[in-house]
Amino acid sequence: MAEQRLCRLDALVEGQSKGFMLRPDARYADLIVVRTACGLFGYRNRCPHTGAPMEWETDRFLDISGTLIQCGIHGALFRIEDGYCLSGPCARQSLQAVTLIERDGWLLVDMDLEQRRS
């Protein structure tokens, strides 16, 4: 299993989102990670409606309330816990979840799994 470290766990603040680039040539984050009181949630940074990246500023993926992921292009709103779209042109679709691994104070992603999903 090929794993890639994303960051130290303590670098992820509860109630905030962060984007991670997996490819050296990436212009936008490949992954979205959100930390809540319930845990860490990760998704591919692709809107199900257009396939476009969703941040409206670097590391900004949440709506103003901080309780939903919001697409910066058309404002679709997704539940953090399962990526399900509650409103917008992709309603009833979902973000593509990624498997996050917590180990020895680090957050990692299984790159073999992510490459198969591409």
Query: What is the CATH number for 19?
Result: 2.102.10.10
The per-residue pLDDT of the chain, averaged, comes to 92
Rounded to an integer, what distance in angstroms lies between the CA atom of residue 66 and that of residue 25?
30
Residue 105 has pLDDT above 80, yes or no: yes
Nearest C-alpha neighbor of 72 from the set 6, 14, 17:
17
**Domain count for the chain:** 1
Q: What is the pLDDT of residues 2-21, one digit of tens each?
A: 899 999 999 999 999 999 99
Q: Quick one: CA torsion of 23, 57, 38, 30, rounded to 10 degrees?
A: -10
The pLDDT tens digits of the residues spanning 61-95 come to 999 999 999 999 999 999 999 999 999 999 999 99
Considering the entire predicted model, what is its pTM? Answer: 0.90
Task: For residue 111, give its domain range.
Answer: 3-117
